[in-house]
Amino acid sequence: MSDFLIHIHTGPENPTKATLGCLVAATALKAGHDVRVFMAGDGVRLLDPEVIETLEGQGTGKLKDHLAEIEAHGGRLYLSGMSAKARGYDASLLEGHPAEFAMPDVLVGLADEATKVLCY
C-alpha cells in the first residue's frame, strides 16, 4: 500500500476542486492506503462548520460526507496555522476532528515521507 499526502489549498470558492481532494483522500483510505491531508491557504476554510454543512462539488459530492469517511478510516488532517490565523480562525476550528495546526516544515516532512503527493 502507498502513503498519500493530499495537499488541499483550494477553498469553498471552488467547491468541485475542494471536495475532489477530500473525495480522493477518503477513497484512498477506504482502499487501505495511509493518508494525511494538509490544508493550507483557503483550504483551511474547509473545516469551518458552516462550510462543512453546505459545500458540495459538481459531481464530487458533499464535503461533509468525505470528511466523515476520512475520519472514520483513520485519516489525519493538518491545517496551516498561519493560513488559519490569517483568516481569523483559532483552535476551535479543529474541535471534533483528528486535526492539528502545523507549520510549513510539517508539510515538507509529510511530502518527503509520502510515496504519492496529490494537490488540489
For β-strands 61-62 and 56-57, DSSP reports them as: antiparallel
For position 54, what pLDDT does the model report?
98
Domain boundary assignment for the chain: 3-119
Mean pLDDT computed over every residue of the chain: 97
The whole-model pTM stands at: 0.96
What CATH number should be reported for the domain whose range is 3-119?
A: 3.40.1260.10
> Mean of the pLDDT values across residues 32-60?
98
pLDDT digits (tens, 9 = 90+) for 9-25: 999 999 999 999 999 99
pLDDT digits (tens, 9 = 90+) for 80-98: 999 999 999 999 999 999 9
Dihedral angle of Cα 84, 87, 44, 79, to the nearest 10 degrees = -10
How many CB atoms are closer than 10 A to CB 111? 14
Distances (CA, A) of 69 to 28, 42, 66, 113: 10, 22, 5, 23
